[in-house]
Amino acid sequence: MKGKRLLARLLHNWPAKALSLAAAILLLFFHDISRLEERFFSVPLELELPEGYVPASNYPDNVRVSLRGESEEIFRILEEDIRAYVDLTEHDSAGEFLEPVRVERQGTARGIEPLEIAVEPLEVAITLEETMQRVVDVQPSLSGFPPTGYELTQYRISPSTVEIEGPSSRVEDIEEVTTEDIELTGRREDFSVRVRLQRPDPLVTFFGGDVVEFRGIIEEAVVLHTFDPVETVVLGLDPQLQIEGSLPSGTVRVQGRQLDLEEVDPDQVQLIIDASPITSPGTYRLSVRPDVPQGFVVLRYEPTEIEVTVRERQG
């Protein structure tokens, strides 16, 4: 009898009681919801790849993660403890695949409840190709010029070749890689710098490091220059004798330091005839020699001989 009375009492006006219970549950739910806050940040997107394959298309470097939970809890989570990744290990051939972005809790993110984690984008398309390695030459990228009078005469790069790795379609056409810019402006002496290599393609990496050493040899610039016309001068002629007519001018080609050359007066370069052996009037073929300032090397000069007619001086 007591059980029947209890059941009757519970069922009495049951619609109103059910509505009251539902309202209480909703109030509790919305109370909990009101205590939850959101936090947003970006994390690197990792790829788990099958052996022997690499991505051959661009994909997002980072994804946007949103955390929803109690404020004190979600703001204790370190960004590096939320790992976002795409698992491609089940594929064993080249192709394009659309895969979901997965999230893994680590460290400070473990054991926190309630915690909702959402990621954007939800999935990414990845093209896989077989991995290819190749040894290529290293070329320097030189910027600027040494000061006037100096030049880069030679250089060495160590190592002179590097191994690159990436999708076969990107690697197979690469013959060489270049360094970042190496500045020559203002350099008057030998120098060494460590410089990074420039990636020839975003999907190609350097197998074994991307830093090389560049050694440059700076020397004073040596230039070639031709003086033309050059005066021909007679030395050692007996004062009682004189040359008939005028002597032809000539040319002298020299090699020397650029800085020295800029300071030379053209009148300092001459062609000399030694007439001291001449003792009487007549016609003579005499050798010509160049006379240039110290520090220059004569490469060529003309004429090498001159025919002169000598007569007695009048008056």
pLDDT band at 28 (very low <50, low <70, confident <90, very high): very low
Instruction: Match domain 223-312 to its CATH number in 2.40.110.10, 2.60.40.420, 3.20.20.140, 2.170.120.30.
Output: 2.170.120.30
Q: What is 31-130's CATH number?
A: 2.170.120.30
Q: In which residue ranges of the chain is CATH 2.170.120.40 found? A: 131-220
Distance of CA 185 to the CA centre of its chain: 17
Residue range 217-248, pLDDT digits in tens? 999 999 999 999 999 999 999 999 999 989 99
Alpha helix segments (H runs only) across the chain: 2-11, 14-34, 71-74, 168-171, 258-262
What's the rounded mean pLDDT across residues 1-20?
A: 57
Q: Model pTM?
A: 0.63
Q: In which residue ranges of the chain is CATH 2.170.120.30 found? A: 31-130, 223-312
**pLDDT > 50? residue 30:** no
Cβ-contact 229, 235 below 8 angstroms: no
* Percent of all residues in the chain with a pLDDT value above 90, rounded to a whole number: 79
Place of tokens 């939320």: 82
CA dihedral 184, 189, 193, 196 (to 10 degrees): 20
**pLDDT > 80? residue 20:** no
**pLDDT > 80? residue 10:** no
Kindly indicate whether the domain formed by 131-220 is annotated with CATH number 3.40.640.10: no
The Cα angle at residue 175 between residues 171 and 178, in degrees rounded to 5: 100
Cβ-contact 100, 63 below 8 angstroms: no
Residue 75, CA distances (Å) to 79, 104, 112, 113 in order? 10, 17, 11, 13
Spatial separation of the C-alpha atoms in residues 129 and 93, rounded to whole Å: 8
**pLDDT > 50? residue 38:** yes
Spatial separation of the C-alpha atoms in residues 307 and 284, rounded to whole Å: 6
Residue range 278-307, pLDDT digits in tens? 999 999 999 999 999 999 999 999 999 999
Smallest CA-to-CA distance from 248 within 273, 276, 279, 284 is with 273
